[in-house]
A = this chain, B = another copy of it.
Amino acid sequence: MNLRERSSAAQLLAGLVRRELSAETLARACLERIAALEPTVHAFAHLDHEKVLAEARELDRGAVRGPLHGLPIGVKDIMDTHDAPTEYGSPIYRGHRPAADAACVALARTQGALVFGKTVTTEFACFPPGPTANPRNPAHTPGGSSSGSAAAVACGMLPAAFGTQTAGSVIRPAAFCGVAGYKPTWGTLPRVGVKMISDTLDTIGMFGRSVEDAALVVSALSGRESLRAREPAAAPRLAVCLTPQWPAARPETRSLFDDLEARLSAAGARAGTVSLPAAFDGLAEAHAAIWDYEIARCLADEHRRFRDRVREPLRSQLDRGWSISPALYDAAHELARACRRALAAAMGDFDALVVPSAPGEAPMGLEATGDPVFNRIWTLLHVPAVHVPLGTGPKGLPLGVQLVGGIGEDATVLACASWVERRLRIRAE
């Protein structure tokens, strides 16, 4: 079969489950793509070709295991795997071999997925970058912290890959690499065995070539059939929302959002605008306080025993976390709870908000992974967020939009995102 013609996860799975496509054939195609591009992209922290092929053959020999049977999936190296090194992007954990799979990895295997190596994470899924380059232009960052997963999916190495998001680590790399990224409602996928850096923020997400693909995989992992991204029955009600972070938007994002409401209307949506209440202005700062406070505690052992082996700016973040008072931390959570309650009223009868995913195209250079400024508040609110790739900006790098909605309203947000994905295209001016 021609993999290029049937490259969506949904199509691949149809072939795999019907046994028209063998897991080994698909794995070999992925390995070929990796062999060609990995020297430039550096998406993988660990990959064992022979092991992947052996497992693919085992899948081909046995019965169909589940809805993800034979689907290659990348696992961010912040997630434990019992059969591969797991280094969390940190020299402290060089060669570390966990005893167990992270729960989300075990779920993927139970559903038949072919765990296809570990993808590069920034250090402890924070700001110090890994070696991954943006496959659209390797002089630019792929974003982070799920750098390898986003890049691997973007350049066709893999049809799907795990990410995690504490600030913007799914949506931002999806935006910079031009793939779909889906951060479900907080708590949708279990986090045991993930090296957590914030108990109240960390959320497991998924990258796919399309919204449908990312949603399909999370649907299988969570047993939530409703997450299969079907298009809405009626015209979606979409509100453009510039958010309190709008001053951080770069010209390409300003240009995109200038006529976004009109474009959505022209495409058939019932479009409007929403302004968030003033209380939301403090959410980004609240997010930063909560993350700093919690990461200092989550990485208390590393900070205590190996502080010198933690790179900047993470080391400063850990130090900073110890200076945040419980009172400030509690107030940040209180604001988040208040804004969660207020969000439904702010959204009115809109199905989803259309907001920026990132300030603009992926910045030049691999020394930093860009700014999660447009992601912090949605992560803190625990709401579903989806990046929809729409085209390219003035530098030829990907641009798109983020759709967010109410807690637990993942199916609605995914359906709207899929609708937008199919109808809106942008190109460089």
Contacts and interface: CB of A to CB of B under 8 A. Distances in A.
Nearest to A325: B223
Contact of A300 (B110, B224, B297): B110
A193 B194 CA distance: 10
Nearest to A330: B408
A190 B224 contact: no
Nearest to A195: B192
Among A109, A195, A199, A301: residue with most chain B CB under 10 A: A301
13 contacts: A96-B99, A100-B302, A101-B300, A101-B301, A103-B297, A106-B300, A106-B303, A110-B300, A190-B294, A190-B297, A192-B196, A192-B298, A223-B326
Number of copies: 2
A230 to B, nearest CB: 17
A98 B80 CA distance: 12
A101 B109 CA distance: 28
Contacts of A223: 325-326
A223 B330 CA distance: 13
Interface in A302-329: 302-305, 325-326
A199 B191 contact: yes
B300 A103 contact: yes
Contacts of A298: 103, 190, 192
Interface residues of A, number: 40
Nearest to A302: B100
Interface string A99-113: 111110111011000
A297 B98 CA distance: 18
A394 interface: no
Interface string A106-134: 11011000000000000000000000000
A245 interface: no
Nearest to A93: B99
Contacts of A330: 408
Given A99-B93, A224-B326, A304 B196 contact: no
A299 to B, nearest CB: 8
A162 to B, nearest CB: 14
A82 interface: yes
Given A103-B298, A187-B200, A223-B325, 6 more contacts: A109-B304, A110-B300, A190-B199, A190-B294, A190-B298, A192-B195
A106 B200 CA distance: 19
B199 A301 contact: no
A223 B96 CA distance: 31
A222 interface: yes
